[in-house]
Amino acid sequence: MKDFHRRSFAKTISWRFFATVTTIAVVYAFTGHAALSLGVGAVEVVAKMGLYYTHERLWARIGWGRLNHPLQDLPVNRPLTPQDTAEIRDRLQELGYL
């Protein structure tokens, strides 16, 4: 199964929000300077969003650790016959989907 680019982008945004808030809090805890903390957070959020998105898209190309779709081996290059439909139903029942 492939991830859509918009899914990777949404994950990038949500992760960066939490990570940047953490970075700002850590910098503030060490320095006590709010302006410095916000400045570091601003630079960090832009740089790391790009890096994370690239990392996510590279991982989307790697099949290791993913479950295969239970029906991926069925050839679907023609209209389905009643026998095809029965085979799909049987496989899904065997796998516990139905």
> Which pLDDT tens digit goes with each residue over 40-66?
999 998 898 889 889 989 988 888 887
Same domain, 56 and 95: no
pLDDT of residue 41: 94
Domain interval for residue 31:
1-66
> Cα separation of 74 and 97, whole Å?
16
Same domain, 92 and 53: no
Tracing tokens 């957070």 back to the chain, one arrives at 41
Domain count along the chain: 2
Q: Which two tokens stand for residue 23?
A: 């970075």
Stated pTM of the model:
0.52
Tell me the pLDDT band of 23, cut-offs 50, 70 and 90. Answer: very high
Q: What is the mean pLDDT of residues 8-23?
A: 89
